[in-house]
């Protein structure tokens, strides 16, 4: 996803500014974003709140990949796990892009837009 495809509006007084989700300025002002808040915002902004049942969490044990998604047959729900050891050392934009990539795969999986798509881990 390019920087120009993903943006949000931010109100500053009477002026509305367009901010890219991976704007370099955010690397300085929002270095450690809240993944739960980002998840909720992305769900509304890009997925019409259709993935509210998906859970997102940090994983301390994941060291081979930045993020993974999957389906839990016991609960019947999908999840996204993000590698804290890897992503806490990377740029903010890497976290945003990893979360969005996993969101897109889950959306396609849940709504069967790509038959045969499996939830590949990593």
pLDDT tens-digit profile of 71-106? 888 888 899 999 999 998 899 999 999 999 999 988
The pLDDT assigned to 113 comes to: 64
Task: Please report whether residue 117 resides in a domain.
Answer: no
The pLDDT assigned to 56 comes to: 96
Task: Please report whether residue 84 resides in a domain.
Answer: yes
Name residues of the chain where pLDDT drops below 70: 1-19, 113-122
Q: Name every residue whose Cβ is closer than 8 Å to that of residue 106 and which is 6 or more positions away in sequence.
A: 51, 54, 69, 78, 80, 119
Compute the C-alpha angle 83/28/23, nearest 5°: 80
Number of structural domains found in the chain: 1
Residue range(s) defining the domain that contains residue 45: 32-110
The pLDDT assigned to 59 comes to: 96
Task: Please report whether residue 16 resides in a domain.
Answer: no
Give yes or no for a contact between 92 and 101, defined as CB atoms under 8 angstroms apart.
no
Task: Please report whether residue 10 resides in a domain.
Answer: no
Task: Please report whether residue 120 resides in a domain.
Answer: no
The pLDDT assigned to 8 comes to: 52
End-to-end CA separation in angstroms for the chain: 18
Task: Please report whether residue 77 resides in a domain.
Answer: yes
The pLDDT assigned to 3 comes to: 40
The pLDDT assigned to 54 comes to: 93
């Amino acid at each position: 996803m390019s920087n120009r495809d993903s943006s949000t509006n931010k109100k500053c007084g009477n002026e509305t500014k367009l901010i890219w989700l991976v704007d370099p300025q955010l690397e300085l002002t929002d270095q450690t974003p809240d993944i739960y808040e980002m998840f909720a915002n992305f769900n509304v902004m890009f997925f019409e709140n259709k993935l509210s049942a998906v859970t997102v969490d940090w994983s301390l044990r994941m060291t081979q990949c930045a993020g993974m998604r999957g389906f839990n047959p016991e609960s019947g729900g999908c999840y996204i796990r993000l590698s804290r050891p890897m992503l806490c050392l990377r740029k903010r934009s890497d976290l945003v892009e990893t979360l969005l990539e996993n969101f897109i795969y889950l959306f396609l999986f849940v709504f069967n837009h790509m038959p045969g798509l499996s939830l590949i881990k990593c």
